[in-house]
Amino acid sequence: MKNLTLHPFTPVRKVDHDNTSSHPYILTTSKGQVRARAVLHATNAYVTSIVPALQNEDGVFGCSAQMIGISPNTADGKHEQLEHSLGYQECFHWLFQRPNNGPYLYGQWKSEQMGRYNDTIRFPQNNTVRQEMMEFLETAFPHKFKNLSIEKDIEYDWQGVQGFTKNGASIVGRPVPERRGAFVAVGYNGEGMGRCYICATVVSDAILAHLNGDEAWQPPEWFPRSYIRNL
C-alpha cells in the first residue's frame, strides 16, 4: 500500500465533520490535522470521548481488569505446556500460557471495576484479590504452582480497559446514520480476542464499499445481526 503511513503515539483529540468537502472528516491530532474520506473508531471503551453518539445507554462503557503473568514454580510444571486457554466458572477466571513454557497470563472477575478508564492504577501487593488469584492457581494446577508468593512469583502485572455494552452485543457500523463515512468497531464485552477479528473483517469491507460507492453492500449472512449498527 504505497500511500499507507503509520503514526504511533499520535492521539486523536477530536473528529469534526465538514459535509461540503470531498474529505469531510477532520481529525485533530497531537501532531496537527488530517482530512479523510472515511474514519474508523476502534478504541473500544475510549471511543465515547470522541463519539458523543455512543455516550448513551446504547453505547459503550469502560471496565478495567487486572492481569498477572506468573510462571509455574514446581519442577514438573516448568516443563509441561498448557495447550489451550481456560475459561472457568462461566469465565470468571481466564488464563492461557505463553509459548515455550512461558508464564501464565491470568485474570479473574473480582479485579474488574466498572466505569474505570485509567489503566495505570494497579492493585497494591496486599490486595485480597491478588491472594485469591494465588490460591486459585495452587488449587486448579497443584502440579504447577505451590506456595506462591505475591512478591516473589508475579513477573508481570498490569491493568487493561475493556469496552462493554448494555446488551452484550458489539457495535459495528455507523454511530451516526447520516454520516456515511464514519465507522466504529467497539464493545467486545471481554471477548475481544475472538470478536475483534470478525468485526474488523466486516467493518473493513463496509469502509471499502463506501469508498467505492457501493451503496448496495450488505454485511455477510454469518455476521451476528445484533452487532450491526446502521449498515
3-state SS string for the chain: CCCCCCCCCCCEEEEEECCCCCCCEEEEECCEEEEECCEEECCHHHHHHCCHHHCCCCCCEEEEEEEEEECCCCCCHHHCCCCCCEEECCCCEEEEECCCCCCEEEEEHHHCEECCCCCCCCCCCCCHHHHHHHHHHHHHCCCCCCCCCHHHHEEEEEEEEEEECCCCCCEEECCCCCCCCEEEEECCCCCHHHHHHHHHHHHHHHHHHHHCCCCCCCCCCCCCHHHEECC
Whole-angstrom distance, CA of residue 70 vs CA of residue 147: 13
What pLDDT is recorded for position 49?
Answer: 92
Cell of 200: 474488523
Residues 6+ apart with CB under 8 A from 204: none
Number of Cβ atoms within 10 Å of the Cβ of 45 = 24
Instruction: Yes or no: say if 205 and 217 are a contact pair by the CB < 8 Å rule.
Output: yes
Across 149-162, average pLDDT: 91
Across 207-231, average pLDDT: 96
Across 9-31, average pLDDT: 95
Where are the chain's structural domains? 37-60+167-229, 63-164
Whole-angstrom distance, CA of residue 103 vs CA of residue 228: 37
pTM, 2 dp: 0.81
Residues 160-193: pLDDT tens digits? 899 999 999 999 999 999 999 999 999 999 888 7
Decide if pLDDT at 125 tops 80.
Answer: no
Band of residue 228 on the pLDDT scale cut at 50, 70, 90: very high
Decide if pLDDT at 46 tops 80.
Answer: yes
> Was domain 63-164 assigned CATH 3.20.130.10?
no
* Interior angle at CA 175, CA 4 and CA 63, nearest 5: 90
The residue with cell 505463553 is 98
Band of residue 94 on the pLDDT scale cut at 50, 70, 90: confident
Whole-angstrom distance, CA of residue 106 vs CA of residue 158: 11
What pLDDT is recorded for position 116?
Answer: 83
Question: What mean pLDDT, rounded, does the chain reach?
Answer: 92
Query: Of the candidates 44, 84, 58, which has an alpha carbon nearest to the alpha carbon of residue 229?
Result: 58
Q: Which amino acid is at 130?
A: R
Cell of 49: 470521548
Whole-angstrom distance, CA of residue 26 vs CA of residue 36: 7
Query: Of the candidates 187, 132, 227, 174, which has an alpha carbon nearest to the alpha carbon of residue 39?
Result: 174
